Amino acid sequence: MTALLEVEGLVKHFVAERSVFGRPTAHVKAVDGVSFTVEAGKTLALVGESGCGKSTVSRLVLRLIEPDAGRIRFEGRDLGTLNAEQLRAFRRDAQLIFQDPYASLNPRMTVSQILTEPLALHNLVPAARRRERVEELLRLVGLEPRFARRYPHEFSGGQRQRIAIARALAVEPKLIICDEPVSALDVSIRSQILNLLRDLQDRLKLAYIFVSHDLAVVKHIADRVAVMNLGTIVETADAQALFAAPRHPYSRALLSAIPVPKPRAKRSRIVLEGELPSALNPPSGCRFHTRCPYVIARCRSEVPQLLADGTGHATACHRTAELPPAENIVPADGGFSPSLEKLVAAFSGAAEGTGRAGVGHFGTAPQT
Amino acid sequence: MTAGPLIEIEGLRVSFHGDDGRITHAVDSVDLSVANGATLGLVGESGCGKSVTSLAIMGLLPKQSAAVSGAIRFDGFDLLDVPDATLRDLRGNRLAMIFQEPMTSLNPSFTIGDQITETILRHRGGSRRAARERTIELLRRVHIPSPEKRIDEFPHKLSGGMRQRVMIAMALACDPQLLIADEPTTALDVTLQAQILDLMRELKAASGAAIILITHDLGVVAEVCDEVAVMYAGEIVERAPVDELFANPQHPYTVGLLGSIPRLDRRTSHLATIEGMVPNMANPPAGCRFAARCPFVEAACTRSSPPLAMLSPTHASRCIRAPLERLVS
């Protein structure tokens, strides 16, 4: 089976400085040789610290910015060769949800206008049936159809994110790129949106590229994870495998630092010394070597390749085989005690009675 | 609680008078106390009143629009009742605060050195040179590399994590007895967050200061706090030692919060959700403020406002249905 999306050797350098004659003198190497695939109906998470290039990758995939090198294939077609019309057709298949639901909705448009625009642009639904489709979309994301006439400021953050999701769904995409979709939301709202994204995936067979720095959320939602550091992927694996035993020292440091909701959790935190190096002038050899606790001379001179083992777990580290075992890197939060498990089940059980967490339940949607 | 707490808040109420004549009750009869050397976590979602509580302690609420009543006792002073001059002497000196956004809380037109020495000179006096030396020392304590050079840099030259550390250095300039940290790690990456939390623990151990940590991240609370107070709609709904709160929560809101965060050791397709919305604080409901969203609600809940009742000597819950175990067994 060919993957829905195949990305190969993607490179994007931004010009950071120019000489007086306008010639570029310094580049930010935001993305430097990134390859990955996304299967239909699955979720790939891109994780890493701020500035590692994860948002740039998501924009490159949609061709919102043009790559300097590399190939992106969507359903086998090379996106680089598409003309304007074909590109527009492709945008129907791939949509984007942004982090900040306060900034990503036009305050001067009603919800109905926001949701109708993509339908009209792509000429999907005849004008007479658009109202009906808008109501259907609102129901799909757990909002009441009567909200269609309201403006974004009348909604809470979680409701706005639902509207943004409805807008993305309007064109019936196959791939949605979620750029930190829950980072700006409160915890209780965050779980509603995560449940919604998962339900929609099951129902509509959507593929997600999920960009996030919240690793517990990533473990919850992702099928595969790619860990990025300074514009390159250092490790990629199935989510379960990565969280069970991360291999790259950078992934280990990231996962070991997850704060877990359990007091006195057993953990062996790997503290990274030093500051994140600048992408303007990334370190030679392995880009992680300035902060790596296991650095040897070879790491400073030779760039490690991303090498896969038989199970689809790939690591870009010269010392993969020599590192200490990875057990107990990810802190154990111990789950819930039996009585708390029952209590939480009772808590969410009452909510489930009204429909599965947002999807399709429109009679009890929150009031503004 | 502990004999002779460092700070004791009693019946704190804050309401804001809007231009349109509406009154919003942001904080309602909050009682809290923190002992020397202890860390209290103040948890809740946006708009629950946790930041307003901290601003009230610091005396930073606007006098024209905020009505504050109750008592905040700190080392013999009632902070709500002292002259402004006294408050100015305490603030930055014995009471210090770390704000949420290191990007906006540093003055962009002064070097970080200027901003820290200003605090030292104001409260401690002494020579400019001594203050500068102390500043370098503070920057070193918060693990800023080559502090001798960094001291003369402007905030825009520093990364987010560095700026947050500068904020912490500034808060520590005069060895405060009480440190209020309002979401000190929210804007940071997980690796930096871990460093900042380690730093706060280190500093607490070294100086014995009390910390009030305001956050919505229960993972952070579990890591650094001794005691936790959960706030909802301006009230404290549950208060307990940290182990107790995470193992045996006794308010439905706390249960919902714990169930709604993805856990590393728990595989579940659906997270718990807290349906509905926070009540409008211009017109709070008569009974329990969580009743409209609570799956365990019964008729009595909406009749009168439940008191914060002690379930054990250390564990208090504002729920008439507690202990909650009996609801599921």
What tens digit of pLDDT does each residue of A39-48 get?
A: 999 999 999 8
Indicate if the alpha-carbon torsion angle B67, B71, B75, B76 is positive or negative: positive
User: 3.20.20.140, 3.40.50.300, 3.40.190.80, 3.40.640.10: which CATH number matches B7-94+174-328?
Assistant: 3.40.50.300
Indicate if the alpha-carbon torsion angle A92, A96, A101, A107 is positive or negative: negative
Q: Is the link from the previous residue into B323 a cis peptide, with omega within 30 of 0?
A: yes
Put simply, the chain A residues between 152 and 171 with a CB less than 8 A from any chain B CB are 156-157
User: Which of B249, B262, B276 has the CB atom closest to A219's CB atom?
Assistant: B262
Write down the domain spans for chain A: 5-222, 253-322
What tens digit of pLDDT does each residue of B202-249 get?
A: 878 888 889 999 998 898 999 899 999 999 999 999 999 999 999 999
Q: Tens place of pLDDT for every residue, chain B, 329 residues?
A: 445 789 999 999 999 988 778 888 899 989 999 998 899 999 988 888 888 999 999 999 988 889 999 999 998 899 999 999 999 999 989 999 998 776 778 999 999 999 999 999 999 989 999 999 999 999 988 888 889 989 999 998 887 778 888 998 999 899 899 999 998 887 678 887 888 888 888 878 888 889 999 998 898 999 899 999 999 999 999 999 999 999 999 999 999 999 998 888 777 778 888 888 788 888 888 899 999 999 999 999 999 999 999 999 999 999 999 888 888 87
Read off φ and ψ for residue B137, nearest 5 degrees: -60, -45
Give A277's pLDDT tier (boundaries 50, 70, 90). confident
- Per DSSP bridges, beta strands B178-182 and B23-34 are unpaired
CA A132/CA A90 separation, integer angstroms: 25
Q: What is the pLDDT of residue A363?
A: 34
What end-to-end distance do the CA atoms of chain A give, in Å?
Answer: 46
Residue A102 pLDDT greater than 90, yes or no: no
CB contact under 8 A, A263 and B255: no
Which residues 6+ apart lie within 8 Å of A132 measured at CB?
Answer: none
Q: What is the pLDDT of residue A1?
A: 58
CA A112/CA A167 separation, integer angstroms: 10
Q: For residue A254, which residues of chain B lie inside 8 Å, CB to CB?
A: 190-191
CA A37/CA A73 separation, integer angstroms: 9
Buried b (16+ CB within 10 A) or exposed e, A154-165: ebbbbbbbbbbb
Chain A interface, mutation test: which of B186, B261, B267, B321, most A Cβ atoms within 10 Å? B261
CA B265/CA B261 separation, integer angstroms: 12
CA A67/CA A115 separation, integer angstroms: 30
The three-point CA angle B116-B122-B126 to 5° equals: 90
Structure tokens at A242: 């990565």
Q: For residue A253, which residues of chain B lie inside 8 Å, CB to CB?
A: 191
Residue by residue, DSSP assigns B163-202 as HHHHHHHHHTTT--SEEEEESTTTTS-HHHHHHHHHHHHH
Structure tokens at B214: 């305001």
Structure tokens at A91: 């945008």
Put simply, the chain A residues between 181 and 200 with a CB less than 8 A from any chain B CB are 186-188, 190-192, 194-195, 198
Read off φ and ψ for residue B15, nearest 5 degrees: -130, 145
CATH number of A5-222: 3.40.50.300
Q: For residue A265, which residues of chain B lie inside 8 Å, CB to CB?
A: 222-223
User: How near does any CA of chain A get to the CA of B81, in Å?
Assistant: 35
> What ipTM was estimated for this complex?
0.83
Q: What is the pLDDT of residue A364?
A: 37
Which residues 6+ apart lie within 8 Å of A209 measured at CB?
Answer: A5, A38, A43, A44, A45, A46, A58, A61, A175, A176, A177, A178
- The pTM of this model reads 0.87
Structure tokens at B31: 């009682």
